[in-house]
Structure 1
């Protein structure tokens, strides 16, 4: 079995959610790691939700499907496939909800050499059948050479 070679990554995570005439945006920067295992590429990073709550986030890409896996105070599993509706799950300490994502676009380009990479997602999201709007997610990735 081949050992996965991990590369340190600096990333900027941006989200815009449009729901009716209301738009929410947030962004953060963090560090993570990128590695290849089997037929999949993985991006792992930690999200800080508050002073004490963090979530370990993994994005798994097989060339067609981008799987989002969040573990910590929030548990979430959601697949994104261009042109398809997928079912997932969102779990907090208080409740568990079914999620659906109707994905318009999935674009994944990993950083190589001096080039930056990016992940772009656009999808209609619903939590327990309730529409939460159109989500646009953009991650800008670049190899972290400061180690």
Structure 2
């Protein structure tokens, strides 16, 4: 994706968390914007957590690191680099925790023409030193031509 024009996308966000013998899943669909600035690509969308709480999510991709930035009722900043442990932070109105991610897989493909784009991310996550399991995140992106 080389142009600086904002493109609107429809996206499907799916996450699975495997911890011990349990699997939790979470999924939603929304619309977002995709744009290029400097040497990085950005995907921005809003996630509704409840009727009165939402989070603005930005994913920033430089070709090596995917940076996840969440702002709203939850603040979070976490980088993901394949084969590396990265530090981050997760903040709620009540507390702030250090996070660590060990990224196992990361693939980013932006939509072009009639092709869908995909982001796939698999990582082990720790919150304040406690392992929360293996997280598998999949985003499917499709250009939204209705806007």
Pair in the same fold by TM > 0.5: yes
Q: What is the distance in 2 between the residues matched to 1:142 and 1:36?
A: 16
Q: What is the distance in 2 between the residues matched to 1:57 and 1:41?
A: 14
Structure 1: gaps (5+ residues): none
Cα displacement (A) at 1:109: 0.1
Q: What is the distance in 2 between the residues matched to 1:4 and 1:73?
A: 29
Q: What is the distance in 2 between the residues matched to 1:59 and 1:24?
A: 22
Q: Which residue does the alignment assign to 1:82?
A: 82
Q: What is the distance in 1 between the residues matched to 2:108 and 2:56?
A: 20
Structure 2: gaps (5+ residues): none
Q: Which residue does the alignment assign to 2:29?
A: 29
The count of aligned residue pairs is 145
Q: Which residue does the alignment assign to 2:105?
A: 105
Cα displacement (A) at 1:4: 3.1
Q: Which residue does the alignment assign to 1:96?
A: 96
Q: Which residue does the alignment assign to 2:144?
A: 144
Q: Quote the RMSD (CA, aligned, Å).
A: 0.8
Q: What is the distance in 2 between the residues matched to 1:72 and 1:35?
A: 21
Q: Which residue does the alignment assign to 2:114?
A: 114
Q: Which residue does the alignment assign to 1:72?
A: 72
Q: What is the distance in 2 between the residues matched to 1:55 and 1:4?
A: 24
Q: What is the distance in 1 between the residues matched to 2:55 and 2:10?
A: 17
Q: When the two structures are superposed, what TM-score results if normalisation uses the length of structure 2?
A: 0.97
Divergent runs of 4+, >2 A: none
Q: Which residue does the alignment assign to 1:8?
A: 8
Q: Deviations over 1:70-120 (max 9, x none)?
A: 000000000000000000000000000000000001100000000000000
